[in-house]
Structure 1
Amino acid sequence: MGELTFDVAHLLAGGLVLVSFMLLYQVRLYALLNVFALHAVVLSLSVAWQAFTQHAPHLYVTAVIALAFKAVVIPVALHRIIARLGIHREIETVVGIGPTMLAGIGLVALAMVVMLRVTAEADPLAREDLAFALAVILLGLLMMVTRRNAVSQVVGFMSLENGLVLAAAGAKGMPLVVEISVAFSILIAFIVIGVFLFRIRERFDTVDVHALDHFRGERR
């Protein structure tokens, strides 16, 4: 049972890293949102497995929150926002997909080396889950800095937050009140971001942050 627990936990955490690479690979907004929903599903499965192995029922609440909000509510709402704003569906990148994927591989290797050395004395299951979680966080940051579209940057931020949740669950969980407050904070941030996107589209007729920088330069 011990080996099965270890293998399943790492399969799910490693799957989250793989789906993070799938997020980096996407060049169309609707496909990006669908992959993010898959990202949230894998996260919820990973957290639910941690709840089972740690005998921590409160982590089931975290898994349900991730499944409901991040796999269903937020992707559906973003789909509607994109349709209503009439955003063109291809994602513009700062660098090409190939270099971005290579950078992602380098960041995953860095996360593994750093985290496994820092946590050498920790529980093997927790330390390797933390390494995977750091990799997800770094890939989320990479997505934020290599995408010009505001919606894709929002998705990168939310995938980064998924990595934080994975880290907290792998490190023997976190208090239920923290999980609920984080969920509501993400929901409020999403609402603010939705309003922000509508205002940008209304004012500048685009959500490409590169175009917004160019406009700001012209005003100067």
Structure 2
Amino acid sequence: MDRFALDAAHMLAGGMVLVSFMLLYQNRMFGLLNVYALHAVVLSLSVAWQAHVQDAPHLWVTATIAVVLKAIVIPVALRRMVIRLGVHRTIETVGGIGPTMLMGIGLVALSMVVMLHAAADADPIAREDLALALSVILLGLLMMVTRHNAVSQIVGFMSLENGLILAATGARGMPLVVEISIAFSVLVAFIVIGVFLFRIRERFDSVDTQAIDDYRGGRE
């Protein structure tokens, strides 16, 4: 594999890590949804490049699913859901943006150290991409645990799933049927989460998970 192919693959995977940090930095709901759409676009470009480099036609299907479902359908649906729920406001974080970003940097460093040592004998494009994919996954988890708002936690979960797809394609991909199954599973999960969001809104008049914790604490 030539040097340009490696550099381009790493640039796109690194771009996903950068956009993950942009997700962590966002404190406005609509801004968060716009950045998530960008995250999905970068994922689709990365998968498309892997399809070209690996000569794997089925990855073109994965790239198409990513750009249609994740960059268009889900962000538009989430935007409409946010408008209906009336939660388009500032997103509260646990501990503030600054400490969250510092924790994110630490997680990326940990991912690089762990994965580059664990996969030292792997193919170069797979090794670095797996390290960057693990960074995206951990940043998605960090976003889920540092946000009170349920919608932002959903975005964190979706960005985590993008990292899993990046890892799978960087490691020479998965069978097409598995990728399509994952895409439909994500869509079903998104629908179920949407139903729960509206139920939470009806019950607690808020989608802030802190309000739910306060309610439980008041009953005990």
Q: TM-score, normalized by length of structure 1?
A: 0.99
Q: In structure 1, the residue corresponding to 2:179 is in which secondary structure? A: helix
Q: CA deviation at 1:89?
A: 1.3
Who is 1:7 aligned against?
Answer: 7
Q: CA deviation at 1:217?
A: 1.1
Who is 1:218 aligned against?
Answer: 218
* 1:39 maps onto 2:39 in alignment: yes
Q: Structure 1 stretches (4+) deviating beyond 6 angstroms?
A: none
Give the Cα separation in 1 of the matches to 2:153 and 2:219: 25
Who is 1:95 aligned against?
Answer: 95
What CA deviation, in whole Å up to 9, does each residue of 1:144-185 have, x standing for no partner? 000000000000000000000000000001000000000000
Give the Cα separation in 2 of the matches to 1:172 and 1:209: 39
Give the Cα separation in 2 of the matches to 1:85 and 1:148: 15
Query: How is 1:99-114 mapped onto 2 (pairs within 5 angstroms)?
Result: 99-114=99-114
Which residue identity lines up with residue 199 of structure 1 in the other structure?
R
**5+ long unaligned stretches in structure 1:** none
Give the Cα separation in 2 of the matches to 1:78 and 1:95: 25
What CA deviation, in whole Å up to 9, does each residue of 1:57-106 have, x standing for no partner? 00011100010000000000000000011114110111110000000000
Give the Cα separation in 1 of the matches to 2:124 and 2:154: 33
What CA deviation, in whole Å up to 9, does each residue of 1:178-212 have, x standing for no partner? 00000000000000011110111111100000110
Give the Cα separation in 2 of the matches to 1:31 and 1:172: 33
* 1:60 maps onto 2:60 in alignment: yes
Across the aligned residues of Structure 1 and Structure 2, the Cα RMSD in angstroms comes to 0.7
Who is 1:198 aligned against?
Answer: 198
Which residue identity lines up with residue 38 of structure 1 in the other structure?
L
Give the Cα separation in 2 of the matches to 1:154 and 1:86: 16
Give the Cα separation in 2 of the matches to 1:202 and 1:87: 13
Give the Cα separation in 1 of the matches to 2:173 and 2:181: 15
Give the Cα separation in 2 of the matches to 1:72 and 1:152: 17
Percent identity at matched positions? 75
Which residue identity lines up with residue 49 of structure 1 in the other structure?
W
Q: In structure 1, the residue corresponding to 2:91 is in which secondary structure? A: coil
* 1:133 maps onto 2:111 in alignment: no
Give the Cα separation in 2 of the matches to 1:81 and 1:180: 25
* 1:170 maps onto 2:185 in alignment: no
The alignment covers a number of residue pairs equal to 220
Which residue identity lines up with residue 29 of structure 1 in the other structure?
M
Who is 1:117 aligned against?
Answer: 117
Give the Cα separation in 2 of the matches to 1:88 and 1:210: 17
Give the Cα separation in 1 of the matches to 2:96 and 2:204: 26
Q: TM-score, normalized by length of structure 2?
A: 0.99
* 1:149 maps onto 2:149 in alignment: yes
Who is 1:207 aligned against?
Answer: 207
Give the Cα separation in 2 of the matches to 1:76 and 1:197: 16
Give the Cα separation in 2 of the matches to 1:4 and 1:104: 29
Which residue identity lines up with residue 123 of structure 1 in the other structure?
D
Give the Cα separation in 1 of the matches to 2:36 and 2:98: 20
Q: CA deviation at 1:24?
A: 0.1
**5+ long unaligned stretches in structure 2:** none
Give the Cα separation in 1 of the matches to 2:144 and 2:38: 19
